[in-house]
Amino acid sequence: MKGKRRLWLIIVFIIISYMLIYRLESTNSESKNIITDVSRLMPTKIEKVVKGNEEKSIVAALTKAREEDLKVSIAGKRHSQGGHTFYPDGVVLDMTNFDKVLGVDPVNKTVHVESGATWDDIQQAVNPHGLSVKVMQSQNIFTVGGSLSVNAHGRDIRNGSLIETVNWFRLLKPDGDIITVSREENREYFPLVIGGYGLFGVILDVELQLTSDELLTMDTEEMTSDEYEEYFNQHVLSDEKVKMHLARLSTAPDSFLEEMYVTNYKASDQQELYNEYNTLKKEEYTFLTKFLLGLSRDFDWGKDLFWDMQKSFFDKSNGQLETRNNVMRSESEFLEYNGKNDTDILQEYFIPVDEYEEYIDDLRVYLTEEDINLMNITVRYVNRSEEALLSYAKEDMFALVLLINQGMGVKEKKKTGDTIRGMIDITIEHGGSYYLPYYKYPTLDQFHEAYPYAEEFFNYKRTFDPGERFVNLFYEEYGK
């Protein structure tokens, strides 16, 4: 009896201790109110985070912010890395709980969804109807509202920027009014809000165009970087059977920016087998990918090993059948890295297709002399799309997505920033631009050179939001 009593006392002690520790941690966290994004480079003290669970709570949060004269920023998964989702002493409106798929229309091939829903939520809803998303990022973990705010693009070479697939959306404006925005109704907002980084109001819900899901065949080839431009024009863009495409450029020291392998996803001649493949897949090989990326962060031989294993994997995958939906369900957990003294950041540069070969040559010469821990480069294609005022695709472009590991100290940020500004100079010299959801390394001059309509964009922002209710650190850096 005494033994049982002693055991219960121990259990109660553990529970009470856990609760006290949890309460202390929660209190400290709430009192500090420090928020950051996935890069962890910009920890910022805010007033509070408000969860947007339903429309009336979102409206109420904005009303209260106006009454208290607080700035408002909008957040989804916080994978934008330049302070786009928070502002000092402001309110962060967290939309991730506002996540319902409101309806799928198989006849008109559309989906109606709240802005906090992820692309995975949409895939789960549309897959049973044999439908698929037209445009999204290569990972499906992001919120729809966040993707709209950065005007995302993906692997589909026949559907370019996300803005092209939007029918309409509802917007909660700074004054509290809710309007429907389309290419016909309140159309002045359409090219501003999509690709507008949350500066014009809260996207509440949206209707997106879908396409038919289909069975695709994976086709992979190796080549050198100086062969890619011609190969793409002759064997990818001109081949209507190629639906999706991506390439990888070597960052391994033994083949730095010289070797490539490309993957085309072609419409299969075996569509009758579709039902055997249309179960949505789960993530695979995540542990191995994270392990190899870890080696790449620390060792040059790790980069060589990772590159060789990637080539081997894709060679073995040649001829593999996969549905469109599953091609768009790439691994995402490997993006989550929480090193104590370092972090992974992204950069993305857009370069005209006919400039690619010369651009890579110049980039190789430049980076060979720079001390930057470049771990991966993925190459995609995005066609000209100037509907968004802050469009990155002024013509048909290759998009180079760079994964970089850097230290988190002041000296490390300066070193990385110097190198990135040099890469942006080279990109602009070749008629290119860079993507805006990342850390504030580019100069103001580089920003305006890459985005010639930026001044007009920010003038519209101040016209439609004269009190500057919706702000973030990106706006503070480039829009003030």
Give 317 or 251, the one with higher predicted confidence.
251
What Å distances lie between residue 176 and 65, 373, 458, CA to CA? Answer: 11, 46, 20
Q: Phi/psi at 281 (nearest 5 deg)?
A: -85, 160
Instruction: Report the pLDDT value the prediction gives residue 25, as an integer from 0 to 100.
Output: 35
Instruction: Report the pLDDT value the prediction gives residue 469, as an integer from 0 to 100.
Output: 98
Domain boundaries 215-437, corresponding CATH code: 3.30.70.2520
Question: In this structure, are residues 320 and 218 in contact, taking their beta carbons and an 8 Å threshold?
Answer: yes
Helices (H) and strands (E) in the chain, counts: 14, 19
CA 138, 144, 146 angle in degrees (round to 5)? 90
Instruction: Report the pLDDT value the prediction gives residue 32, as an integer from 0 to 100.
Output: 67
Instruction: Report the pLDDT value the prediction gives residue 22, as an integer from 0 to 100.
Output: 34
pLDDT, tens only, 23-65: 333 333 334 689 998 889 999 999 999 998 899 999 999 999 9
Q: What percent of the chain has pLDDT over 70?
A: 91
2-94: what CATH class? alpha beta
pLDDT, tens only, 140-152: 889 999 999 999 9
- H or E element at residue 123: helix 119-126
Residue 7 has pLDDT above 90, yes or no: no
Q: What is the DSSP string of 306-350?
A: HHHHHHHHHHHTTT-EEEHHHHT----GGG----SSEEEEEEEEE
Closest CA to 293 of 247, 338, 349: 338
Residue 330 has pLDDT above 90, yes or no: no
CA atoms within 13 A on the CB side of 365: 6
pLDDT, tens only, 205-215: 999 999 999 99
Cα separation, 341 vs 339, in Å, equals 6
Instruction: Report the pLDDT value the prediction gives residue 183, as an integer from 0 to 100.
Output: 97
Which of 212-226, 295-309, 387-401 has the lowest average pLDDT? 295-309
pLDDT, tens only, 391-406: 999 999 999 999 999 9
Is the sign of the CA dihedral 75, 77, 82, 86 positive or negative? positive
Residues 6+ apart with CB under 8 A from 370: 419, 422
pLDDT, tens only, 356-373: 999 999 999 999 999 999
The pLDDT confidence band at residue 16, using thresholds 50, 70 and 90, is: very low
The pLDDT confidence band at residue 286, using thresholds 50, 70 and 90, is: low
Which of 57-71, 298-312, 422-436, 459-473 has the lowest average pLDDT? 298-312
pLDDT, tens only, 74-119: 998 898 888 999 999 999 999 999 999 999 999 999 999 999 999 9
Residue 52, classed as helix, strand or coil, is coil
Residue 336 has pLDDT above 90, yes or no: no
- Angle between helix 410-429 and helix 356-368 axes, rounded to 10 deg: 150
The pLDDT confidence band at residue 298, using thresholds 50, 70 and 90, is: confident
Residue 139 has pLDDT above 60, yes or no: yes
Instruction: Report the pLDDT value the prediction gives residue 200, as an integer from 0 to 100.
Output: 98
CA 163, 283, 273 angle in degrees (round to 5)? 80
Residue 339 has pLDDT above 90, yes or no: no
Instruction: Report the pLDDT value the prediction gives residue 189, as an integer from 0 to 100.
Output: 98
Instruction: Report the pLDDT value the prediction gives residue 196, as an integer from 0 to 100.
Output: 97
pLDDT, tens only, 411-453: 999 999 999 999 999 999 999 999 999 999 999 999 999 999 9
Average pLDDT over residues 271-281: 94
Instruction: Report the pLDDT value the prediction gives residue 214, as an integer from 0 to 100.
Output: 97
CA 262, 150, 280 angle in degrees (round to 5)? 55
Instruction: Report the pLDDT value the prediction gives residue 332, as an integer from 0 to 100.
Output: 61
Cα separation, 480 vs 474, in Å, equals 10
| 3-state DSSP helix/strand/coil % of the chain, to nearest 5 | 40, 25, 35
Domain ranges of the chain: 2-94, 101-212+453-470, 215-437
Q: Record the pTM.
A: 0.89
Q: Which two tokens stand for residue 108?
A: 């008109």
Q: Which of 42-56, 273-287, 317-331 has the highest mean pLDDT?
A: 42-56
Give me the chain's average pLDDT, please: 90
Give 242 or 76, the one with higher predicted confidence.
242
Q: Phi/psi at 2 (nearest 5 deg)?
A: -65, -35
- Angle between helix 300-316 and helix 286-298 axes, rounded to 10 deg: 150
CATH architecture for the domain at 101-212+453-470: 2-Layer Sandwich (3.30)
Cα separation, 235 vs 167, in Å, equals 32
H-helix segments, 155-237 = 190-193, 225-231
Instruction: Report the pLDDT value the prediction gives residue 99, as an integer from 0 to 100.
Output: 96
Which of 178-187, 261-270, 323-332, 381-390 has the lowest average pLDDT? 323-332
Instruction: Report the pLDDT value the prediction gives residue 353, as an integer from 0 to 100.
Output: 97
